[in-house]
Structures are given as C-alpha cells and as structure tokens.
Structure 1
C-alpha cells in the first residue's frame, strides 16, 4: 500500500461538535484496516 500525503481521517472541531470525515475518495470512502 503506497503512503499518501493526505490523511485518511479529517478531524474538524466546531465548538462542542467534532466532525470526522473519511478521506479516501479513490475508494469511495470505504473503510480500511487503517481506519478501524
């Protein structure tokens, strides 16, 4: 598996809310072992 410069998980905190975004558009944002 090639290393990527982009993180697999994007984390954005907006006040009391934390948004977690999967960042694997080439795989349609499917889960991987790295995301589990």
Structure 2
C-alpha cells in the first residue's frame, strides 16, 4: 500500500486524494492522540 498506518491492516485504513496525486507514506498521529 502507498499509505501505511503501522499496526493497522491496510483494509481498515483508506486514503482520499483531492487531485491527480494520491497521498503516500507512513502516517503517524500527534502524541496527544495516544491518550496518555
């Protein structure tokens, strides 16, 4: 897959492009979303 969220199976993580180019890379969320 072109867009990856580690620990999440690709079928549960989707991308949406708003132009000709689609997003690609590894996703990580800000530490505030860790719930700690």
Superposition TM-score, scaled by structure 1 size? 0.22
Higher relative contact order (CA closer than 8 Å, sequence separation 6+): 2
Greater share of strand: 1
Superposition TM-score, scaled by structure 2 size? 0.22
